[in-house]
Amino acid sequence: MKLPKQESLIPLKTLIFSYHASNTILISFLPLYLQFRGLTGAQIGWVLAVESLASILAQPFWGYLSDKYKTVKKIIFVCLIGLLVGGTLFFQMETLPTLLITGAIFYFFATPVGALTDSLAQRRSSVLNVSFGSIRMWGSVGFALSSLLVGVVLARYGIEYMVWIYLLFGSMALLTLFPLKDVKVKSQPIKIKDLSRIVKNKPFLIFLSVILFITVTHRTNDYYMALYIAELGGSEDLVGQAWFAGVIAEAAVFALAGFWFKKYHSMIFIIGAAILYTLRWFLYAAVTDPMHIVALQFMHGLTFGVFYTAAFDYVTRLIPSLLQSTGHLVFFSVYFGLSGIIGSLTGGPIIETFGGGAMYMSMGWIAAAGTILLIAYHLLPYGKELRE
């Protein structure tokens, strides 16, 4: 690859790195922060559900604006401003009602950023003929390094200080936007009626319904692994180590996507990752030492890294190019939004009442059901790739 092309990706890689470095705080440590604030497991579930609900509403909204005005960069800029202002308010709240209200505002701006940066990375990778995974891996690197660093800092100084680290990484993400190259789409601005092409896309909708069984378990783990490690006797720095181990494995999978991803049909990787998800949750349910979670976290790369890369590629083929940002954010709203609502509202009461082992055992059976449905989807006519 020529040097100018490689240089043009540096701002994008830095943006993805910075955003995911900030996002690790919400995924890895927010449940512990809310527990520190005195919330119960069920109340934590409600706060996390607000994030997912905001994601469902916000992601298609911002995706539509991105496609309508033919810009991703400007939409990300607005969202990052909202992220910084909303985050400052959210982390000052101490009661459940105020956390829910400010959290809804904060997440309305924060949740679409990951989908928009991935959509931008997908388009830039196509233009420059490079692997999407080679760009997306920098998000995993940022997440991994942040989880390790933040875990150590919070264990030493206290989890109440994590807001400052979050705002630091969020500000870094905002600064990287200025030299960032936007994408240019040569097509007419979309209209509301164009969205019917997504609503009527049966393969796309059925696929999203089927993967919900897998993504619900993924999101439940995102929210409650930290509490499970604490239940087993682990501390904040061990939570950071667990996420570091998992996301480094994820980064390796993304980095090598150009070598392994093109060998077989996307659905083969999706089904294979779903099988590993099932095995992963049953193993988590059986552990008795928090260090076992850290040791098993290498499976995060083989599950999420493979599943997400293959699923993102698969839905990209199903979505008309005119509606790429909208379709990608609808995919995100299901993968991280709807799944997050279900996972947060069910996982919190289960882990509070029956313990983490029971929660992970339930997740294993749900993932097994999802794997069976994915195989059936692939074998049926709607499992074939169609594009309008």
Tell me: the pLDDT tens digits for 257-286? 767 766 777 889 999 999 999 999 999 999
Closest to 141 measured CA to CA, from 16, 225, 226, 260? 16
Note whether 340 and 62 are within 8 A (CB): no
Q: What is the pLDDT of residue 76?
A: 93
The token pair at 275 is 């099988």
Q: How many CA atoms lie within 13 A of 340 on its CB side?
A: 24
Angle, alpha carbons 38-110-326 (nearest 5°):
135
Angle, alpha carbons 296-222-241 (nearest 5°):
50
Note whether 223 and 31 are within 8 A (CB): yes
How many Cβ atoms sit within 10 Å of the Cβ of residue 200? 10
Residues whose CB is less than 8 angstroms from the CB of residue 151 and which lie 6 or more positions away in sequence, other chains included? 28, 29, 236, 237, 238, 239, 240, 241, 243, 244
User: For the whole model, what pTM was predicted?
Assistant: 0.75
Low-confidence stretches of the chain (pLDDT < 50) are 1-7, 386-388
What is the rounded distance in angstroms from the CA atom of residue 216 to the CA atom of residue 366? 8
- Domain-by-domain residue ranges, the chain? 9-181+189-383
The token pair at 340 is 């997050």
How far separated are the first and last CA of the chain, in Å rounded? 32
DSSP category for residue 262: T
What is the rounded distance in angstroms from the CA atom of residue 43 to the CA atom of residue 181? 42
Q: What is the pLDDT of residue 386?
A: 47
Note whether 52 and 132 are within 8 A (CB): no
- Which residue stretches of the chain are H helix? 3-8, 10-24, 30-36, 41-69, 73-90, 96-110, 112-128, 132-157, 162-175, 196-199, 202-231, 236-255, 257-260, 266-286, 290-296, 299-300, 306-318, 324-332, 339-353, 356-379
What is the DSSP track for 161-213? GHHHHHHHHHHHHHHTTTTPPPP---SPPP-GGGGHHHHT-HHHHHHHHHHHH
Does the domain spanning 9-181+189-383 belong to CATH 1.20.1280.290?
no
Segment 319-356, tens digit of pLDDT: 877 777 677 778 888 888 889 889 988 998 899 889 99
Q: What is the pLDDT of residue 189?
A: 55
Indicate the SS3 state at residue 264. coil
